[in-house]
């Protein structure tokens, strides 16, 4: 349920309304926007008398929210969420470019790639230390040592680091990363979602391979229900009957999520296609469709990469792409009259 307050609402009356709702076990999420202040009510609102609340002096309108996701719902929070990470912001009209190798392979490798992608305009370094691999015989990542190499690359470049958490037991090691990634395979690992909901680092949730928008938003809701509102969604392609590409990039996700939620939306054209030459057209498509950012795999030697070489761009191919993406983003923004 959402309660829209009148502009000139009396703060004392608001305090008594909030206290009354809290006594009934309802959690309240307040969103102060330019147009209105909205109270988002989470909990069992079925017994609340909607007419009674609507009749209060300070209340403009009351609406039931049918969707099962509440904190993630745009009805609860009409303005876009903007997440501050280091010196950059995700959402709010910025284009975030996360780039780096699928797996951290050595300190030299990740530092060299970090320097290259930063020079091209990337705003974050993305690299995997703990890797969810389909085969138990494939390289599983460098683990804790890989996290140290990512931190060394951050030290050298200033780029915030984004890396995947696979298991709750690894969480203490992630205290010093900037964004925790939850991979597609773990999108419905509810214990993991609860754990990252109880800490305060931003969390990027990749879409499960066969997840609907609602299931994906419910995963965001798990994190937000724990008190962590810094959630980012990442579309990375879904499983369809098409086998030419690794997955099928669902560009509809961007405008649909923009309508359903206030959370920032990142697109990963690398895992979506599995082919380096498809990364550019789909990354451009994502920016044209309104994505808040991209996650792109970049490797200095894709032919010898320990993971996902075929979809990785060399730094010399990433460079013109990053520039095109920034130019396209500026053009899209100016067409929207927001630049």
Q: Is the CB of 235 or the CB of 308 nearer to Mn ion?
A: 308
Task: Tell the residue number behind the tokens 């939306």, with chain if given.
Answer: 265
Dihedral sign for Cα atoms in the order 173, 179, 184, 187 = positive
Task: Tell the residue number behind the tokens 């920016």, with chain if given.
Answer: 287
Q: How far apart are CA 7 and CA 21, in angstroms?
A: 20
Q: Is the CB of 75 or the CB of 206 nearer to ligand PEP?
A: 206
- Give 314: exposed, middle or buried? Use CB within 10 Å, 0-12, 13-18, 19+: middle
Q: How far apart are CA 114 and CA 119, in angstroms?
A: 9
DSSP helix/strand/coil, 52: helix
Residues that bind Mn ion (CB under 5 A): 102, 308
In angstroms, what is the minimal distance from the CB of 98 to ligand PEP?
A: 10
Instruction: Return the residue of 184, 193, 217, 231 that touches ligand PEP, per CB under 6 A.
Output: 184
Task: Count the site residues for ligand PEP by CB under 6 A.
Answer: 10
- Which range in 171-179, 180-188, 195-203, 220-228 contacts ligand PEP by CB under 6 A? 180-188
| Helical residues (DSSP H) of 73-187, grouped into ranges | 107-120, 144-157
What Å distances lie between residue 285 and 183, 240, 269, 325, CA to CA? 23, 19, 10, 10
Among residue numbers 142 through 171, which ones bind ligand PEP (CB under 6 A)?
164
In angstroms, what is the minimal distance from the CB of 126 to ligand PEP?
A: 7
Instruction: Return the residue of 206, 230, 262, 299 that touches ligand PEP, per CB under 6 A.
Output: 206
Q: 156 in the Ramachandran plot: left (φ > 0), alpha (ψ -120 to 50) or beta? A: alpha
Q: Is the CB of 146 or the CB of 197 nearer to Mn ion?
A: 146
324 touches which of ligand PEP, Mn ion, none (CB within 5 to 8 A by kind)? Answer: none
Q: How far apart are CA 293 and CA 270, in angstroms?
A: 13
DSSP strand pairing (59-63 vs 265-267): unpaired
- Is 183 a binder of ligand PEP (CB under 6 A)? yes
In angstroms, what is the minimal distance from the CB of 268 to Mn ion?
A: 9
- Which range in 11-19, 27-35, 50-58, 178-186 contacts ligand PEP by CB under 6 A? 178-186
Q: Is the CB of 153 or the CB of 272 nearer to Mn ion?
A: 272
Task: Tell the residue number behind the tokens 């009510």, with chain if given.
Answer: 41
Q: Is the CB of 107 or the CB of 164 nearer to ligand PEP?
A: 164
- Which range in 13-21, 183-191, 258-266, 314-322 contacts ligand PEP by CB under 6 A? 183-191
| Interface ranges with ligand PEP (CB under 6 A) | 102, 128, 132, 164, 183-185, 206, 236, 271
């Amino acid at each position: 349920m959402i309660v829209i307050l009148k502009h000139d609402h009396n703060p004392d009356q608001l305090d008594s309304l909030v206290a009354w709702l809290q006594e009934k076990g309802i959690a309240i999420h307040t969103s102060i926007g330019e147009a209105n202040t909205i109270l988002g009510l989470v909990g069992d609102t079925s017994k609340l008398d909607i007419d009674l609340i609507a009749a209060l002096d300070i209340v403009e309108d009351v609406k039931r929210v049918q969707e099962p996701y509440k904190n993630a719902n745009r009805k609860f929070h009409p303005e876009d969420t903007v997440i501050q990470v280091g010196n950059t912001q995700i959402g709010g009209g910025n284009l975030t470019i996360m780039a780096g190798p699928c797996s951290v392979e050595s300190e030299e490798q990740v530092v060299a790639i970090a320097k290259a992608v930063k020079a091209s305009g990337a705003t974050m370094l993305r690299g995997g230390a703990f890797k969810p691999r389909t085969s138990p015989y494939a390289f599983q990542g460098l683990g804790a040592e890989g996290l140290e190499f990512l931190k060394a690359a951050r030290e050298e470049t200033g780029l915030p680091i984004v890396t995947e958490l696979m298991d709750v037991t690894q969480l203490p090691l992630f205290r010093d990363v900037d964004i925790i990634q939850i991979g597609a395979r773990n999108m419905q690992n509810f214990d993991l979602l609860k754990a990252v909901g109880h800490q305060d680092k931003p969390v990027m949730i990749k879409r499960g391979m066969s997840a609907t928008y609602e299931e994906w938003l419910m995963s965001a809701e798990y994190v937000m229900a724990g008190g962590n509102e810094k959630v980012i969604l990442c579309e990375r392609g879904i499983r369809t009957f098409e086998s030419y590409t690794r997955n099928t990039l669902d560009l509809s996700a961007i405008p649909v999520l923009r309508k359903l939620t206030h959370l920032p939306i990142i697109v990963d054209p690398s895992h979506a296609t599995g082919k380096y030459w498809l990364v550019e057209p789909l990354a451009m498509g994502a920016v044209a469709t309104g994505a808040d950012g991209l996650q792109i795999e970049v490797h200095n030697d894709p032919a010898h990469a320990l993971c996902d070489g075929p979809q990785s761009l060399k730094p010399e191919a990433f460079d013109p792409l990053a520039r095109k993406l920034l130019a396209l983003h500026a053009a899209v923004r100016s067409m929207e009259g927001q630049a």
